[in-house]
Amino acid sequence: MNTVSQVPSIADGTTANGSSLSDEIVREGARRMLAAALEAEVGAYVAELADG
């Protein structure tokens, strides 16, 4: 899952929805971090259930 999403931008550095490109990059990074944390949490929970 190591892909880089392309966020379309216009000439003034904003995206189509009006936020800055850097804001979109930060949001995408936060989404990835949350997804990874959730996957780890679920994995630990499932492993704990399997051992019990």
pLDDT at 50 over 90: yes
Q: Do 14 and 8 contact (CB within 8 A), yes or no? A: no
What pLDDT, on a 0 to 100 scale, did the predictor assign at position 5? 58
What pLDDT, on a 0 to 100 scale, did the predictor assign at position 23? 95
Residue 21: which of 40, 32, 5 has the closest Cα?
A: 5
Name the pTM for this structure.
0.61
- How distant, in Å, are the alpha carbons of 37, 38, 48, 50 from that of 42? 9, 6, 10, 12
User: For tokens 């003034």, what's the residue?
Assistant: 12
Question: For 3-45, what is each residue's pLDDT tens digit?
Answer: 555 655 566 777 777 789 999 999 999 999 999 999 999 999 9
Q: Do 15 and 8 contact (CB within 8 A), yes or no? A: yes
What pLDDT, on a 0 to 100 scale, did the predictor assign at position 13? 72
What pLDDT, on a 0 to 100 scale, did the predictor assign at position 6? 60
